[in-house]
């Protein structure tokens, strides 16, 4: 309503019907927060068109919102996709993609060491919805070839795996299913589009927990899926709108704000992680270090081919097993004992007693995780402060 018309109404009505100024002659420098969940129309036909086609106009924020769209466009652009969809969390994105692609009786090929939440969804789909899942190591394209069945619909991989930092050979693994009508999905959370763009390696869909590197400041939950084709985007969007895990505009805005420094943060986090990995590898109190940019890493050659840098996460084993790992994580003072990653602050955790607690010693070993393995999600602090902290914590372990 125009200001002129508003001023002729009673105060009770005017307090409700506030004027919405639309900028003219200038525009906001940053993305505005369109927090409203619903939009209004001047024209009944336009509103009817928006019901018919979600791209015709913004209608209702579960179906689309300008702030959320800005995030979808930003991540889709970085990943080199046609379009994106933003969600309330990474798990929201993963669920929308899995449930949007799969039907009962379908078959999935998935990497064995997936993020626990993804593994739980696949288990649930297998137990309650008749979806069959074959797990593969992610190291061997032949395993993928042998796992293929007529009902295989989806291949699910992660660029860098938690906490072993395994690097999946995306083009080789995806290449095995590319001509079989299989949708390839890659969780690119650990690499971010700064280090790897899985669509360039044949993936059809990329998913992110935006909670991690994209947001970057431990203050927002979010997820994004990016699609190679408009058809896939449309299909998953129709389903996602029904599921309802849409991103909140303020969360999308926080993620966009964080993303402005993504390139700088990633550069510093990777440089810090490499410095720490090299120093840890030379420390007498450390029996093993896993970091893709170290020449001794099992996937070093793949990492050099696919990743622009080694990433912000490394895993290492203080000599002394489980107790040593637990002592270390309680002894750090600059790093924080916390289960997330991608934050500007350095975070440590002990997978065997937390994220991977359900695995016994044998299963941990098979997954490449030691009883004492410490995961370090490196932040942007000064590397010497981080190293001094690690050294003093290692001294307590010895």
- Residue 380 has phi, psi (to 5 degrees) of -105, 15
Largest CA distance in the chain: 80
Which member of 187, 204, 248, 299 is catalytic?
187
Q: Structure tokens of 49? A: 């068109």
Which member of 197, 212, 228, 265 is catalytic?
212
By C-beta, is 72 or 187 nearer to ligand PLP?
Answer: 187
Q: Which DSSP state fits 49?
A: H
Strands 205-209 and 183-187: parallel
Q: How far is the CB of 162 from ligand PLP (least distance, A)?
A: 6
Query: Per rule CB under 6 A, is residue 269 in the interface with ligand PLP?
Result: no
Q: Tell me how far apart the alpha carbons of residues 112 and 83 are, in angstroms, rounded to a whole number.
A: 29
Q: Structure tokens of 61? A: 């924020």
Q: Tell me how far apart the alpha carbons of residues 378 and 390 are, in angstroms, rounded to a whole number.
A: 12
Query: Per rule CB under 6 A, is residue 115 in the interface with ligand PLP?
Result: yes
Is 212 among the residues known to form the active site? Answer: yes
By C-beta, is 89 or 269 nearer to ligand PLP?
Answer: 89
Number of residues that bind ligand PLP (CB under 6 A): 14
By C-beta, is 102 or 221 nearer to ligand PLP?
Answer: 221
Query: Per rule CB under 6 A, is residue 258 in the interface with ligand PLP?
Result: no
Query: Per rule CB under 6 A, is residue 285 in the interface with ligand PLP?
Result: no
Please give the C-alpha separations between residue 360 and each of 351, 356, 364, 370, in angstroms, as whole numbers: 12, 9, 6, 11
Is 106 among the residues known to form the active site? Answer: no
Which DSSP string do the residues of 70-119 spell out, in sequence order?
HHHHHHHHHHT-SEEEEESSHHHHHHHHHHHH--TT-EEEEESS--HHHH
Query: Per rule CB under 6 A, is residue 209 in the interface with ligand PLP?
Result: yes
By C-beta, is 169 or 187 nearer to ligand PLP?
Answer: 187
By C-beta, is 209 or 269 nearer to ligand PLP?
Answer: 209
Is 187 among the residues known to form the active site? Answer: yes
Q: Tell me how far apart the alpha carbons of residues 259 and 396 are, in angstroms, rounded to a whole number.
A: 37
Query: Per rule CB under 6 A, is residue 187 in the interface with ligand PLP?
Result: yes
Which member of 34, 69, 115, 375 is catalytic?
115
**Residue in 223, 311, 312, 368 binding ligand PLP, rule: CB under 6 A:** 223
Q: Which DSSP state fits 60?
A: B
Q: Structure tokens of 64? A: 């689309």
Q: How far is the CB of 168 from ligand PLP (least distance, A)?
A: 12
Contact segment (CB under 6 A) with ligand PLP among 7-15, 27-35, 183-191, 272-280 equals 183-191
**Residue in 66, 80, 117, 141 binding ligand PLP, rule: CB under 6 A:** 117
Q: Tell how many helices (H) and how many strands (E) occur in the chain.
A: 16, 12
* Residues forming a β-bridge with 185: 156, 205
Q: Tell me how far apart the alpha carbons of residues 323 and 177 are, in angstroms, rounded to a whole number.
A: 43
Q: Please list the helix, strand and coil fractions of the chain in percent, rounded to the nearest 5, in that order.
A: 40, 15, 40
Q: How far is the CB of 77 from ligand PLP (least distance, A)?
A: 21
Query: Per rule CB under 6 A, is residue 216 in the interface with ligand PLP?
Result: no
By C-beta, is 91 or 252 nearer to ligand PLP?
Answer: 91
- Residue 157 has phi, psi (to 5 degrees) of -135, 165
Q: What 3-state class would DSSP assign to 2?
A: coil
Q: Tell me how far apart the alpha carbons of residues 192 and 14 are, in angstroms, rounded to a whole number.
A: 47
Nearest position to ligand PLP, beta carbon:
90
Is 55 among the residues known to form the active site? Answer: no
Residues numbered 80 to 99 that lie near ligand PLP (CB under 6 A) are 89-91
Which member of 62, 234, 304, 322 is catalytic?
62
Give the contact letters, 141-170, x = binds to ligand PLP (CB under 6 A), - = no: -----------------x---x--------
By C-beta, is 5 or 357 nearer to ligand PLP?
Answer: 357
Positions in the binding site for ligand PLP (CB under 6 A): 89-91, 115, 117, 158, 162, 187, 189-190, 209, 211, 221, 223
Catalytic residues: 62, 115, 187, 212
């Amino acid at each position: 309503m125009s200001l002129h018309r508003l001023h002729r109404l009673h105060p009770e009505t005017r307090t409700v019907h506030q004027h919405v100024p639309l900028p003219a002659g200038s525009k906001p420098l940053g993305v505005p927060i369109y927090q409203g969940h619903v939009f209004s129309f001047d024209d009944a036909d336009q509103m009817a068109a928006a019901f018919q086609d979600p791209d015709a106009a913004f209608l209702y924020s579960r179906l689309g919102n300008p702030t959320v769209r800005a995030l979808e466009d930003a991540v889709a652009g970085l990943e080199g996709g046609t379009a994106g969809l933003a969600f309330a969390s990474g798990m929201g994105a993963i669920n929308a993609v899995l449930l949007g692609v799969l039907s009962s009786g379908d078959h999935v090929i998935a990497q064995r060491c997936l993020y626990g939440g993804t593994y739980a969804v696949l288990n649930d789909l297998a137990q309650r919805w008749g979806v069959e899942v074959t797990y593969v190591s992610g190291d061997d394209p032949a395993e993928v070839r042998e796992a293929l069945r007529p009902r295989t619909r989806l291949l699910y991989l992660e660029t860098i795996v938690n906490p072993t930092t395994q690097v999946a050979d995306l083009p080789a693994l995806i290449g095995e299913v590319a001509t079989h009508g299989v949708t390839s999905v890659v969780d690119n959370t650990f690499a971010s589009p700064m280090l790897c763009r899985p669509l360039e390696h044949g993936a059809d869909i990329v998913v992110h927990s935006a909670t991690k590197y994209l947001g970057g400041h431990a203050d927002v939950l979010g997820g994004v899926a990016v699609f190679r084709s408009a058809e896939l985007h449309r299909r998953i969007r129709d389903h996602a709108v029904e599921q309802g895990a849409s991103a909140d505009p303020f969360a999308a805005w926080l993620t966009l704000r964080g993303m402005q420094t993504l390139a700088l943060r990633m550069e510093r986090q990777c440089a810090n992680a490499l410095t720490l990995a090299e120093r840890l590898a030379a420390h007498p109190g450390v029996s093993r270090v896993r970091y893709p940019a170290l020449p001794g890493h099992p996937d070093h050659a793949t990492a050099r081919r696919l990743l622009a840098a080694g990433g912000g996460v490394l895993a290492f084993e203080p000599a002394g097993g489980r107790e040593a790992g637990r002592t270390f994580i309680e002894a750090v003072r600059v790093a924080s004992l916390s289960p997330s990653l991608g934050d500007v602050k350095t975070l440590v955790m002990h997978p065997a007693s937390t994220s991977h607690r359900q695995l016994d010693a044998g299963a941990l070993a098979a997954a490449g995780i030691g009883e004492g393995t410490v995961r370090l999600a490196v932040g942007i602090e000064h590397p010497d402060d981080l190293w001094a902290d690690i050294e003093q914590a290692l001294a307590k372990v010895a």
